[in-house]
Structure 1
Amino acid sequence: MRVSRNIIITGIVLIALLLLWGAWSLLPHRTIETAPPPAVTHDGDLLRIRPGGPLDGQLTIEPVQETLSPHQVELPAQIITPPGQSVDIHSPVVGRLANLYVQTGQHVQKGDILAILYSGDLAQAWSDDHKAQATLTLTRQAYRRAVGVLNAGGNAVKDMQSAKNDLEQAQAEATRARLRLQALGTDGNAGYQPLFAPVSGIVTSVSTGVGQNVTDMTAVLMNVSNVDTVWVQASLPDTLLPMLGTTMTLDAPFPGQTCHGPVTSLDGTVHTDTRRLNLYLRCNNTQGVLRPGQFTTATLNITQQAQPILPKTALLMDNDQISVFVETSPNTYRRRFITISYEEGETVRILSGLKAGERIITHGAILLNDY
């Protein structure tokens, strides 16, 4: 009887335990999660990337390259007429325009007659020349007579000296009158003043017409320009003056022709109105494709010594400071501040802070910027 009671009690306890275990297994259990290690840890000024972490494989590491290519600067440029090859035509005398033989755009040769003026001043110059020549002839004859009479003993020395003085004055006046005609460029027709082309080229402007009275000898009547050779004028900002070197070339593309070559000349001073220095390139234009006034964007190539060069994607900007992340060992990086010179398309040149061969983060550095 006692054994049966013990067996019943034991069975009840086992059943109770089974029921408690079943109830406990049906209850929701809370899993305690442990935090993963950080993706980036600090070790002084070093940043360590956890292998297998979220940043592992997101960074591109490349060595710093070095370049010998020239620095290229894009500058506004235009075609201009070479110095001394664009000549304004003025009238050397006042008068009235009788004939005009050219029009804008016409090609002329040196010495061609451009126009003719009726001029009272020219008639006066011819009259002065004729009178001076007549006076010279008369005084020369008088001097010869005075010398002959003196040699025959029938005249005083002072008479011969007076005749000689008159001859020298007449010679001076004749020379002046003839040089005046030569300066006017006359062709021998009294009263008709021709205007000659001083250079071969194109008539770029005409600001007069037949019948116009020319009363101002400083007024420009027309312009003739020789454009067989033209100059490309490129304007360099004064902020870039320190980079100018002794070896520079210019590339200036135009429709139908590209001008290329060493810089021919440059201004001695900076233009105060634009704060720019003009550089010049001589360009052959025998085909007449280029016209003064055409604009383009020229490329100035400045020879440089070997310099480290970086892609822009490696740079981190923090106000006025520029930095990169340099690899010190696998998965370990240090921020380093650098100085850049100027942009080369998608790259920049390094003035200080990096050397060729050092390994840096070229893509993905922004992911470490906030650590």
Structure 2
Amino acid sequence: MANNNPVTGRLPLLIILTILIALVAYMQWPETVKEKKKYQRIVAVKTASVAYDDFVESVEAVGTARANEQVLITSKYSDLVDEVYFNDGQTVARGDVLVRLNNQEELAKVKELEANLSESVAQLNRLSELLNTKATSRSIVDQQEAKTKAISAQLLSARTKLDDLTIKAPFSGVLGFREISRGAYIDAGSVITSLDDLSTIKVDFNLPERLLTTVHVGQKISAVNSAYQKVKFEGQITSIDSRIDARTRSLKVRAKLPNKALKLRPGMMLNIQVVLKVDKLLQLPESTIIPIEDKHYVFVVQDDVAYRKEVEIGRRHPGIVEIISGVQAGEQIVQEGALKLRDGAHVKVIAHDGKLVEDKQSDLAKKDGGKA
């Protein structure tokens, strides 16, 4: 008897149709995965390396520059100016003649006393010979000896005054403006010019008393001034005051800065940085840190994938953060583009430690083009 069940008759057809659908789905599945990978979002980022570097602990202060030696050149006597031997701003050495006052009278007096002394010494020698032969008394010889000593003292005084009428530089340095002219009459104490030794600059500044145990002679400092914004002047502490200011509770410190190029001038305001301690610490740029509530995170790049990791941070400097734990030295951390990332996101590093990273595919294309 023939089987007229329609379902049984169509069963082979259904089986064949099912197999064809499964085959088509199987063949299309890799293409779907490839399309997803093809259109997967890749974020361009810039990275920085976790590295050990010097972490400088310092304190800042403000001070005023002073010349190593500074003096106002004045005259001890009132007289006419015979000669002026310098110009404004001239560099002079110790002992250089700056001004000569009228010295004719003192010069004549010195010559007179030299003649008197010569005669007195000759008379003393004759009397001494007579004393040896008992031809004169001891008292006459003593009187002549006293007279000779008096003339000698007067001559020394006259020579000293004559020297003082020639004004010389007491030390090497740079002169200020000339305040006198040739032929002018100046009084005793009148300012002729100023003289500054600028080879070294002194700077006094105050620090909190709590730093007394951490500040010492020989400690390094750096100074900056608004006139030279990109230049740091290095120096060291040379002395510390023996007292604490009772009103401000601060400690006065003096430092010296070499100034061979004469860039620094007395009176300049200097921003001082005193180096207290230098440690070798693991650190990162501050821009790599992502704060979330009371925790801190970074994105670590491995094989072009960004993974979020929690880190423990320590001390901070402007732009720098100490890393206590969470990442290791040498790891690549996302510095720019972190706000677009999630854990496991694919990334493309376009710059690392401030240097552009060339595209590997474009490099290969260039090489292939060169070979062709």
TM-score range, shorter chain: 0.5 to 0.7
- Alpha-carbon distance in structure 2 between the residues aligned to 1:110 and 1:200: 5
TM-score after normalising by structure 1: 0.53
Deviations 1:103-133 (A, max 9, x none): 3322233333322322xxx445434423322
Alignment of 1:182-261 (within 5 A): 182=163, 184=164, 193-217=165-189, 219-227=190-198, 229-231=199-201, 233=203, 235-242=205-212, 244-246=214-216, 248-254=219-225, 255=228, 257-261=231-235
Q: Is the 8 A contact 1:76 1:295 kept in 2?
A: yes
Deviations 1:141-165 (A, max 9, x none): 2223323334444433433333333
- Alpha-carbon distance in structure 1 between the residues aligned to 2:64 and 2:197: 17
Match among 97, 100, 104 for residue 84 of structure 2: 100
Give 1:302 deviation, angstroms: 0.3
Q: Is the 8 A contact 1:248 1:262 kept in 2?
A: yes
Residue identity in the other structure for 2:62: P
Residue identity in the other structure for 1:198: P
Alignment of 1:1-371 (within 5 A): 69-82=55-68, 84=69, 86-118=70-102, 122-182=103-163, 184=164, 193-217=165-189, 219-227=190-198, 229-231=199-201, 233=203, 235-242=205-212, 244-246=214-216, 248-254=219-225, 255=228, 257-269=231-243, 277-285=252-260, 287-303=261-277, 344-345=317-318
For structure 2, the 5+ residue unaligned runs are 1-52, 296-313, 327-372
Structure in which a larger fraction of residues adopt strand = 2
Give 1:181 deviation, angstroms: 3.5
Q: Is the 8 A contact 1:250 1:263 kept in 2?
A: yes
Compared with structure 1, are the counterparts of its residues 278 and 103 closer, same or farther at alpha carbon in structure 2 (3 Å cutoff)? farther
- Alpha-carbon distance in structure 2 between the residues aligned to 1:313 and 1:76: 35
For structure 1, the 5+ residue unaligned runs are 1-66, 185-192, 317-323, 326-339, 350-355, 359-371
Deviations 1:151-208 (A, max 9, x none): 44443343333333333333333344334434x2xxxxxxxx3322233322123333
SS of equivalent residue, structure 2 residue 191: coil
Residue identity in the other structure for 1:220: V
- Alpha-carbon distance in structure 2 between the residues aligned to 1:203 and 1:159: 55
Q: Is the 8 A contact 2:64 2:205 kept in 1?
A: no
Compared with structure 1, are the counterparts of its residues 271 and 116 closer, same or farther at alpha carbon in structure 2 (3 Å cutoff)? farther
- Alpha-carbon distance in structure 2 between the residues aligned to 1:243 and 1:99: 55
Aligned-pair Cα RMSD in Å: 4.4
Q: Is the 8 A contact 1:79 1:230 kept in 2?
A: no
Q: Is the 8 A contact 2:201 2:264 kept in 1?
A: no
- Alpha-carbon distance in structure 1 between the residues aligned to 2:140 and 2:100: 48
- Alpha-carbon distance in structure 2 between the residues aligned to 1:124 and 1:163: 27
- Alpha-carbon distance in structure 1 between the residues aligned to 2:125 and 2:202: 65
Deviations 1:194-244 (A, max 9, x none): 322233322123333344322232x332112222x2225252343554463
Compared with structure 1, are the counterparts of its residues 238 and 129 closer, same or farther at alpha carbon in structure 2 (3 Å cutoff)? same
- Alpha-carbon distance in structure 1 between the residues aligned to 2:207 and 2:321: 20
Q: Is the 8 A contact 1:77 1:232 kept in 2?
A: no
- Alpha-carbon distance in structure 2 between the residues aligned to 1:98 and 1:165: 37
Q: Is the 8 A contact 2:73 2:194 kept in 1?
A: yes
Give 1:245 deviation, angstroms: 2.9
- Alpha-carbon distance in structure 2 between the residues aligned to 1:178 and 1:116: 15
TM-score after normalising by structure 2: 0.53
- Alpha-carbon distance in structure 2 between the residues aligned to 1:130 and 1:273: 61
SS of equivalent residue, structure 2 residue 205: strand
Give 1:300 deviation, angstroms: 1.4
